Amino acid sequence: MQTGNNNHASRWVSPEHGCCRGSRSSDTRLTHLVRQQHRTGVARRDNPTTSICTRNIQVVCGGNYSQPLPADYIEPMPEGHVLHRLAGELNRRFAGKVLEISSPQGRFQAEANLLQGVPFDHAEAYGKQLFLHFATPQPERIIFIHLGLIGKFRFYEHTPPAGIIRLQLVSDDTYAVLTGPQWCRLIDEPTREQAIRKLGADPLRASSDPGAIWPRIKRSSRPFGELLMDQSLFAGVGNIYRAEVLFRAGIAPKRKGKRILRREFDAVYADLVELMALGVRDGRIDTVRPAHLPEAMGRPPRDDAHGGEVYVYRRAGEPCYVCGTPIRHEIMGNRNLFYCPTCQH
Ligand SMILES: [Zn+2]
């Protein structure tokens, strides 16, 4: 995991893999949103710089976009690999331990009180959702977290800086601090199962069955690019993986679900399994094949704080690594869409 630019954090797990440094001056839309979220109490705004340049808000900034962005445009929220990586970090640090659990902000304190003295059992991610299991008999106690757009879970090896902390887990000298989640709730097992039933196949869970979602793909008139972002079909897939797997499969994002062949669907899902596992391992998204790496092509590495080496994501106007055609940018479903009009059909 990369080291954050937060001076207070000795080590932390970021729910995103980039920030908008070098671009914040141009994005008043984000500033507006951060202020709005601050007013509603879901964002910490300890100073204008960090709140704008927060690591899981990505502002589309710079770049040669062919269309204007929607006024409230923000992207992307953490993709599934971030949550799975976070679950792994929580397990590594806390599994089997009795934690000090609190809610310095107060909003989760009543629930935290119910967990005092109860050992933390394990964390699991499903798509973009996180479940923290505690070793209680019936009723089960599970903390259910969705980071949303601005939520962060950070680890500190010293007292964390003051802030609007929804949930704080402490063991020995390790602090895990949750700020700004979309939600943080205490639930039981039936509620967890209900939440999971709403989610589709998660490429990072070996137990997920892509065959179960295929019937919905093959009869859909919606663009496959949209279906890939539907969490009830592909849990954990976000905008970067969507753009990149479509490129790698040579599929145009607007092609309808019912025009996708089963073998294409299988290849896309297998590619997600492979790429997202690399994302969990490396803490960033890299999707280019060996032949298109900077050293193989004799090109400079990608200069973009938003992630690793990719084919199309945030490369609008730049030449495709395969055919040289400028990468195209459009808006689909209020989200940025990037693709090569030559390589993808
Ligand atoms: Zn191309």
pLDDT at 333: 87
Q: What is the pLDDT of residues 91-141, one digit of tens each?
A: 999 999 999 999 999 999 999 999 999 999 999 999 999 999 999 887 789
298 Cα: distance to centroid of ligand 1 (angstroms): 18
Question: 313-323: b or e for each residue (b if 16 or more CB lie within 10 Å)?
Answer: bbbbeeebbbe
Q: What is the pLDDT of residues 235-276, one digit of tens each?
A: 999 999 999 999 999 999 999 999 999 999 999 999 999 999
pLDDT at 10: 30
User: Alpha-carbon distance 266 to 91, whole Å?
Assistant: 31
pLDDT at 62: 25
Joined together, the tokens standing for residue 278 give 């690399």
> Which backbone phi and psi does 80 adopt, to 5 degrees?
-55, -35
Higher per-residue confidence, 252 vs 5: 252
What's the mean per-residue pLDDT of the chain?
81
Q: What is the pLDDT of residues 128-177, one digit of tens each?
A: 999 999 998 877 899 999 999 889 999 999 999 988 999 999 998 899 99
User: Alpha-carbon distance 190 to 209, whole Å?
Assistant: 21
Question: 18-52: b or e for each residue (b if 16 or more CB lie within 10 Å)?
Answer: bbbeebbeebebbeebbeebbeeebbbbeeeebbb
Q: Which amino acid is at 254?
A: K
pLDDT at 21: 30
> What does the CA dihedral 20, 277, 84, 230 come to, rounded to 10 degrees?
80
pLDDT at 68: 42
Q: What is the pLDDT of residues 187-239, one digit of tens each?
A: 999 999 999 999 999 999 999 999 999 999 999 999 999 999 999 999 999 99
Joined together, the tokens standing for residue 4 give 């954050």
**Sheet hosting strand 183-187, strand order edge to edge:** 120-126, 129-134, 141-146, 183-187
233 burial type by CB count under 10 A (0-12 exposed, 13-18 middle, 19+ buried): buried
320 Cα: distance to centroid of ligand 1 (angstroms): 5
287 Cα: distance to centroid of ligand 1 (angstroms): 15
pLDDT at 47: 28
324 Cα: distance to centroid of ligand 1 (angstroms): 6
CATH number of 210-339: 1.10.8.50
Residue 231 CA to chain centroid, in angstroms? Answer: 12
pLDDT at 109: 97
Of the candidates 94, 139, 91, 92, which has an alpha carbon nearest to the alpha carbon of residue 114?
A: 139
> Which backbone phi and psi does 25 adopt, to 5 degrees?
-65, -30
Of the candidates 17, 16, 30, which has an alpha carbon nearest to the alpha carbon of residue 61?
A: 30
pLDDT band at 46 (very low <50, low <70, confident <90, very high): very low
223 Cα: distance to centroid of ligand 1 (angstroms): 20
325 Cα: distance to centroid of ligand 1 (angstroms): 5
pLDDT band at 306 (very low <50, low <70, confident <90, very high): low
- Same fold? 83-197, 210-339: no
341 Cα: distance to centroid of ligand 1 (angstroms): 7
Strand 129-134 to strand 120-126: parallel, antiparallel, or no bridges (unpaired)? Answer: antiparallel
Q: What is the pLDDT of residues 15-28, one digit of tens each?
A: 333 333 333 332 33
Percent of the chain with pLDDT over 90: 70
Q: End-to-end CA distance of the chain, in Å?
A: 36
Residue 338 has pLDDT above 50, yes or no: yes
Q: Which CATH superfamily is domain 83-197 in?
A: MutM-like, N-terminal (3.20.190.10)
pLDDT at 334: 86
Question: 59-94: b or e for each residue (b if 16 or more CB lie within 10 Å)?
Answer: bbbebebeeebeeebbbbbbbbbbbbbbbbbbbebb
For the chain, what are the domain ranges? Answer: 83-197, 210-339
Mean local confidence (pLDDT), 4-20: 32
Catalytic residues: 78-79, 128, 335
Handedness of CA 210, 271, 150, 33 (dihedral sign): negative
